[in-house]
Amino acid sequence: MRLQNKVIIITGSCTGIGKAIAQRCVAEGARVVIHGLEKEWGEAVVAELGKDKAVLLIEDISNEGAPQRLVDMAVNTYGQLDAVVNNAAIVASSNIHTTDLDFLRKILEVNTIAPFALIKAALPHLRKQSGCVLNIGSVNAFSGEPNLMAYSISKGGLMTLTQNLGDTLFREDGVRVNQINPGWVLTENEAIRKREHGLADDWYKDLPNVYAPAGRIIWPAEIAAAAVYWLADECGPISGQIMTLEQYPFIGRNPPKDTSTIPVNTKSG
C-alpha cells in the first residue's frame, strides 16, 4: 500500500499503459481520476476499480481548459491532489514527407503541450501535498523510428520538460518531476496498429530476439509496477530523472551483424 490515501490523475487511462497504472495505483491504496477518449472503456475501468476509488473524465486533453477540469475533478471529488501521470498521447506514423504542419502541431499539442498545461494547473495542489509528476515518455525520445518522426519529436520535448521542471519545481515547490521511457509494449492499441501495418494477427508471438530477447515484448502491468516507485514517497528526493524501461540497453546498442540478425542466402551459384 505504497500509495495509501494519495489522489492521482492519470491521463489516457481508459486503455493500455494508463489503465494498467490506474489499476496498480488503486491496488496500492490510491484513488484515481481516469481520463481518455473512449467512454465505454473508461466506464468499464471505473466499474472495475470501484466508484469510491475512481472517477472519469472523457475529453481530449488538448481541449481548452481540459487540464483544469481534470484538476478540479480530483480536488472536488477527493479534496486533494498528490500526483499527476501524463500518459495520454497520440502515436501516429509519419515521416518528413507525410508530416504537414497541422499534423505536427496536433501531435505536439497532445503529447507535449498538454502535459505542461496539466502540470501548471495541478501545481498549486501538488505544492500543498509535496506531490509529484510522472511523465510517460518513450524510447523514441532519443531519436526515434524513421516512421514515427512527429511522435519522436514530441517525446523528446517531453523529456526536456521533465528534466527542466524536475530541477526547478523540486527546488522551488518541493514537487518531484520524473519520467519513464517505455520501449515496445503490448498494449491493445499497439496490437491493432501493427496489424494495420500489415503484420499477422499474432505478430507478437514470434519476434526476432534482436527486438525481444525475452521472447516477448513488455506488458503494460510491468510498466505500471515501475511507475509506483516514482509516485510513492519512497522515491525520496529523486527528481528530474529519466528511466528507460526496455529489455536491452537502448543507448549505444550495437546488435551483431551475423546470421542471428541477417537472413542467410541459401541459394548457390
Using CA atoms, how far apart are residues 40 and 55, in angstroms rounded to an integer? Answer: 13
The total number of residues written for the chain in this structure = 269
Strand ranges (E), 28-185: 31-36, 54-58, 83-86, 132-136, 176-182
Helix (H, G, I), strand (E, B) or coil at 79: coil
Quick check: is 151 catalytic? yes
Q: What is the DSSP letter of 131?
A: -
Burial tier of 247 (Cβ tally within 10 Å: 0-12, 13-18, 19+): middle
Which member of 151, 204, 211, 229 is catalytic?
A: 151
Using CA atoms, how far apart are residues 196 and 204, in angstroms rounded to an integer? Answer: 14
Using CA atoms, how far apart are residues 203 and 71, in angstroms rounded to an integer? Answer: 39
**Which residues have a catalytic role annotated?**
151
